[in-house]
Amino acid sequence: MSQNKTRKPTNAQWGGRFTSGPSEVMERINASIGFDQRFFAQDIAGSRAHAQMLVAQGILSSEDGQAIENGLDTILADIEAGTFKFKVELEDIHMNIESKLRELIGDAAGRLHTARSRNDQVATDFRLWVRDEIDSLGKQLVGLQAVLIDKAEAHADTVMPGFTHLQTAQPVTFGHHLLAYVEMFGRDRGRFSDTRTRLNESPLGAGALAGTSFPIDRTATASHLGFDRPMANSLDAVSDRDFALEFLSAAAICTTHISRFSEELVAWCSDGFRFISLSDAYTTGSSMMPQKRNPDAAELSRGKTGRVYGALIGLLTVMKGLPLAYSKDMQEDKEPVFDAADSLALALAAITGMVGDMQAEPENMHAAAGKGHSTATDLADWLVRAAGVPFRDAHAITGTIVALAEEKGVTLTELSLGDMQGVDKRISADVYNVLSVEASVASRTSLGGTAPINVRAAAAEARARFLVPEGIE
């Protein structure tokens, strides 16, 4: 009996319940310090808030509180300087910091964990990290929108073909095309902002799952950490990972937009299009073919999308079968979020750089815009306006004229008035005023249309809506 009383536990983290250490495999599968050390700033911020609250509530002495503050200052400085020694046997960032704090200040370090569990601690750290990441990505998205708007304004008059089914449809302007992505990335910012609003509740003080008997002030710690309020249910507080799933979902949609734009950059650089050119800064050569200039930055940005999708599906799969409250499966929540955030940040940086770097080739765009009888709709619209023809009839008449032009191997503007009147006598020479690509784009003045005057106004409006509130001129 006396031996049992004096026996020292082998597993220091878990105390007297365990009398032998973990196997090597258990140590490896259980440890998360290899990736969750990225939480160090958030973990220290959470510990400061918790310690100050404990002091304010009379649970911790002011002397111990000050010692904890000083020790955390030292640890933060060491980690930022790269001199802190992380230990795998201490499993995670939380125990690594707590162990070092005990080395520095002694028993006071052990009192820091009063009324706190690693469950609410990690949930708090994770929310703080995702919140910080959302803020950082938001700034990147603003920067991307800014260069897109600048480019759109510069090319408000540059005519290019618009496509449906990757077939020439109607002429548009390059500026109008770029502004479409400004809207997409604006919605991405909205999704991240919505995610931030929902995640901004504090789990700290929920304990392992049931709360605590200590008279803590969860509202104080929530306020200290910039949360809007404490989470209402202790079980939900430690087991919820909706915020991570929402973050990944928003990231997946954002990378979808990046991938779509990357695909267009790849196509536009190709010999079949030659709509834009990219400098050496965002292209690579071939190890075999000296003439090649490959848009690898765009291709790699497009490829990052698969990693982000995988992160979302992976975490959804982890979470789908877990009962309340905490299960160790949830340790698998961090790496996919870290990887997705890194992938998205890098892709955004690459796309922003490419937009600023790319040079438009207006002559090639203009030539392509005139192919494929892209102003056929303008002919049909003219028949409606000038001749009073019902649109469905005008559509059929125009289709016949297009077939005639294809048979003769000419464009609509090259087709003679006699040939057109041979299809419908109501057509007059005035029709040629609407058949050029310039006339086509200029006529699209409806709200959201491609007319250059619209593009300039839309770019100014987008600048005010998306950039000025962020303080970007």
Q: What count of Cα atoms within 13 Å lies in the side-chain half-sphere of residue 439?
A: 15
Catalytic residue among 61, 286, 327, 428: 286
Residue 106: CB atoms within 10 Å = 12
Residue 12: CB atoms within 10 Å = 13
* CA nearest neighbour of 129 among 425, 342, 295: 342
Active site residue 327: no
The phi, psi pair for 471, rounded to 5°, reads: 80, 20
> Cβ distance 347 to 301 under 8 Å?
yes
* Strand 201-202 with 229-230, pairing: parallel
Residue 7 CB burial class (10 angstroms; 0-12, 13-18, ≥19): exposed
Q: What phi-psi label fits residue 60: left (phi over 0), alpha (psi between -120 and 50 degrees) or beta?
A: beta
Active site residue 443: no
> Cβ distance 238 to 268 under 8 Å?
no
* CA nearest neighbour of 41 among 191, 225, 250: 225
> What residue type is assigned to position 211 of the chain?
G
Residue 317: CB atoms within 10 Å = 11
Residue 242: CB atoms within 10 Å = 13
Q: For residues 388 and 383, what is the distance between their CA atoms, to the nearest angstrom?
A: 6
Catalytic residue among 20, 165, 213, 446: 165
> Cβ distance 272 to 168 under 8 Å?
no
Q: For residues 323 and 471, what is the distance between their CA atoms, to the nearest angstrom?
A: 45
Alpha helices in 59-173 (DSSP H): 62-81, 93-105, 108-111, 118-154
Q: For residues 123 and 359, what is the distance between their CA atoms, to the nearest angstrom?
A: 46
Residue 100: CB atoms within 10 Å = 22
CA distances to 204, 253, 362, 433, 463 from 453, in Å = 54, 31, 18, 19, 16
- Residue written as token pair 């789990």: 203
Q: How many residues does the chain have?
A: 473
Positions marked catalytic: 165, 286
